[in-house]
Structure 1
Amino acid sequence: MGRGRQKAKATKQAREMKYFTPNTDYSALQRELSGAKSASARYPEEPAEPDYSEYEDKYADQFDDWDDDGGTRRIG
């Protein structure tokens, strides 16, 4: 397919996508958005996330300068 035909086809597809207006079922959208009141009511068997606060600063003194590379990193 030549460049002119290819460009015309792409333009036609873009125009169809831009002006495409599907029928929207607003009542179904409202049911979906107001269906469940909370995530815990939907998934009661899902366990709570464990508490990792006791490990937060366990190794902080060993890795004080973890992100410090001494300014030798080249950018660009």
Structure 2
Amino acid sequence: MGRGRAKAKQQKVARKLKYSSGGTDLDRLRSELGVAEDEGSPSGPLGPDDPYTEPQDDLVDRYADLADKYSESDK
């Protein structure tokens, strides 16, 4: 019997979130997260010191021999 009231309340909150105007205070959120305004991601989402970000040319050089191998086998 109590499930009906809880479900109705959840639906009310969900509707409020779905149709709200999106009045998010970004400055307050920034202060809560401890992010400075001038910070950003200079070289993508992972950062400049991330070992998984490689320049595109390095990848091309690394796999050039495979490209040659597969292009010869298609002929």
Alignment TM-score, normalising by the size of structure 2: 0.29
Q: Determine which structure has the larger helix proportion and give its number.
A: 2
Find the structure with the greater CA-based Rg.
Answer: 1
Tell me the TM-score normalized by structure 1: 0.29
